Amino acid sequence: MRLERLNYNKVKVFLTYDDLKERGLTKEDLWTDTFKVKQLFREMIEQASKELNFEPTNSLSVEVFSLQAQGMVVFVTKQYAESEEYNQADEEEQELYEDFIEMQVMLDESDDLFFEFQTFEDIIQLANRIVDHYNVDSMLYTYDERFYLLLDYEQLTSIEIGNVIAVLAEYGNPSTITKHRVHEYGKLLVEREAISYIVNIFS
């Protein structure tokens, strides 16, 4: 589970399917209001509080983006400003915050292995990690000051796909922008075998 703070009241969480499996959950479980799902969101908020100083309020919005190959991207947003009264609430009241979660499914599943990276250096490090281990074609784009890598994973086994996703998640996040939008409005940097090209040029 990887967390990133986007602004004062919003964090992004990336969950692989292995993360869900470790907690006894499937992706279908996330569309239901079960005890395990509430525990998962509670764990997210507690980790965000510890790592990112993101303190929950009594109203949270949870947007879930299901990405078929990669896992889940979850955006958690505080709906109201924190109050002194809430910060001073007793432990029992704070343990009830998960009951206020509003869950919204915002995006259909995507079959693309399409990741977003903040810097080109992230791409270089990623390429060096996987170039000698996995036979996968790839395309590299840039759009809105970010970099996007589209991988063709049809030649990979399910285990290899999981391994590749785990490495991708160390350096970037699954894109919530479609490949079609990036292709139309962004700039194509490398059309074929982008990973090999980057290693040959920059390593």
Question: What is the CATH number for 58?
Answer: 3.30.70
C-alpha closest to that of 118 among 88, 85, 144: 144
**Residue 182 domain boundaries:** 113-202
Boundary residue ending a domain (63, 79, 107): 107
The answer on 157 and 91 residing in a single domain is no
Residue reference for tokens 């809430």: 86
The answer on 61 and 121 residing in a single domain is no
- Looking at residue 84, its pLDDT comes to 43
The answer on 64 and 11 residing in a single domain is yes
- Looking at residue 86, its pLDDT comes to 42
The answer on 128 and 68 residing in a single domain is no
The answer on 74 and 41 residing in a single domain is yes
Q: Name residues of the chain where pLDDT drops below 50.
A: 82-100, 103-108
The answer on 130 and 90 residing in a single domain is no
The answer on 119 and 100 residing in a single domain is no
Boundary residue ending a domain (107, 132, 148): 107
Per the structure, the count of domains in the chain is 2
The answer on 147 and 76 residing in a single domain is no
Boundary residue ending a domain (80, 107, 134): 107
The answer on 71 and 43 residing in a single domain is yes
Whole-model pTM over 0.75: no
Identify the CATH number of the domain in which residue 168 sits.
3.30.70.1950
Report the residue count for the chain: 203
Encode pLDDT of 142-189 as tens digits: 999 999 999 988 878 777 877 788 788 788 887 878 899 999 999 999
- Looking at residue 203, its pLDDT comes to 76
C-alpha closest to that of 151 among 143, 172, 82: 172
The answer on 137 and 90 residing in a single domain is no
Provide φ and ψ at 25, rounded to 5°.
-120, 155
Q: How far apart are CA 63 and CA 67, in angstroms?
A: 13
- Looking at residue 166, its pLDDT comes to 74
- Looking at residue 93, its pLDDT comes to 43
Pairing of strands 101-107, 60-67: parallel
